[in-house]
């Protein structure tokens, strides 16, 4: 049986499940909105959902897509310290379940859902990937001699607001003359690029797509500022084998079996690594390039396929 941990709105998960059905592979999906109960008897563990009880020993592989397994339906009381105690208990149960699942064949896990961009940048340099020069120190902002710089968050993507302050995850040109106050952000030298690259990595293999974003003022700095009226052209792209090998080393060093990776190709013919998202969307690469990545994931979850390889 394959265990899939996802959120209920993720369409890519639905397509992977369609492939699993076509291969006649048993699966169970737990969404972050599902209430689960957990039972343990002498290290024998069961997960109980509304209509099914699963023996963890029957799970052969786990695909952590995104989300969280909510364990226990503890009734909150009007005592904050006691509620904190109950929340801690739920955390212990969730940690134990993750420990049990870590013994299975896995494509990522809850503990790997977020990565530290700064650590990833260090490792990327160590394995030989180029990254734009960066710093995080608003006090020395005026001393940097970049002709042009960009800024982006150092935390996982967030779009929203806190009171009247807007926070988003887009990359922006840094307008130094307009800065009145500045919070901790990642500042990078602006690299003139010919195009951007989105790469999907899965267990040692890369599938890449070039995004021709430079012809549109709206998407020049960040292609995620989609122009729905005139979308960027996207085409299949093959990274040099040396770059793919470095990506493989990086992903192994950060213990990720899968992830969406952003790179760019500069006007002086250099590849630059930007970041990796363990739970990033991959259908934007799969469909335009006819890579059928959902099928690849389903195949890798199949123990028979792994044995044949």
pLDDT for 230 equals 62
pLDDT for 176 equals 56
pLDDT for 111 equals 86
- pLDDT tens digit sequence for 65-78: 988 888 875 555 56
pLDDT for 138 equals 56
**Nearest CA-CA partner of 111 in 5, 2, 262, 208:** 5
**Nearest CA-CA partner of 59 in 307, 306, 303, 228:** 303
pTM: 0.82
CA 221 – CA 198 distance, rounded (Å): 15
Alpha-carbon dihedral of residues 273, 266, 171, 13, nearest 10 degrees? -50
Q: Which residues are paired to 36 by β-bridges? A: 71
Residue extents of the structural domains in the chain? 2-112, 133-189, 193-278
pLDDT for 207 equals 97
4 neighbors 61 (Cβ within 8 angstroms): no
pLDDT for 159 equals 47
The CATH code of the domain at 2-112 is: 3.40.50
The reply to whether domains 2-112 and 193-278 share a CATH topology is no
Q: Tell me the mean pLDDT per 10 residues along the chain, length 309.
A: 92 95 94 87 89 92 90 63 71 88 92 89 96 71 61 59 51 54 66 91 96 63 59 85 98 95 93 92 92 95 61
Supply the mean pLDDT for the chain.
Answer: 81
Query: 165 CB contacts (<8 Å, ≥6 apart)?
Result: none
The CATH code of the domain at 193-278 is: 3.30.470.20
CA 200 – CA 194 distance, rounded (Å): 20
């Amino acid at each position: 049986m394959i265990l899939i941990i996802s959120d209920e709105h993720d369409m890519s998960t639905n397509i992977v499940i369609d492939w699993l059905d076509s291969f006649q592979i048993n699966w169970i999906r737990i969404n972050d909105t599902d209430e689960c109960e957990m039972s343990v008897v002498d290290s024998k563990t069961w997960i109980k959902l509304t209509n099914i009880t699963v023996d963890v020993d029957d799970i052969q592989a786990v695909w952590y897509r995104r989300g969280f397994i909510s364990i226990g339906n503890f009734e909150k009381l009007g005592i904050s310290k006691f509620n904190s105690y109950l929340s801690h208990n739920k955390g212990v149960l969730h940690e134990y379940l993750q420990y049990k699942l870590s013994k299975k064949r896995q494509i990522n896990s809850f503990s790997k859902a977020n990565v530290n961009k700064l650590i990833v940048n260090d490792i990327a340099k160590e394995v030989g990937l180029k990254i734009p020069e960066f710093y995080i120190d608003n006090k020395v902002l005026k001393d940097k001699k970049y002709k042009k710089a960009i800024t982006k968050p150092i935390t996982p993507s967030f779009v929203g607001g806190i009171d009247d302050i807007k926070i988003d995850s887009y990359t922006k040109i840094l307008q130094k003359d307009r800065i009145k106050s500045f919070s901790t952000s990642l500042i990078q030298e602006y690299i003139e690029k010919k195009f951007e690259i989105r790469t999907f990595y899965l267990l040692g293999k890369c599938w890449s797509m070039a995004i021709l974003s430079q012809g549109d003022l709206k998407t020049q700095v960040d292609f995620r500022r989609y122009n729905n009226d005139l979308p960027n052209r996207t085409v299949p792209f093959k990274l040099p084998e040396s770059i793919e090998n470095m990506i493989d080393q990086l992903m192994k060093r950060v213990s990720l079996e899968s992830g969406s990776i952003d790179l760019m190709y500069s006007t002086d013919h250099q590849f630059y690594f930007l970041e990796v998202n363990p739970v990033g969307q991959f259908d934007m690469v799969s469909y335009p390039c006819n890579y059928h990545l959902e099928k690849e994931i389903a195949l890798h979850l199949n123990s028979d396929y792994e044995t044949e390889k």
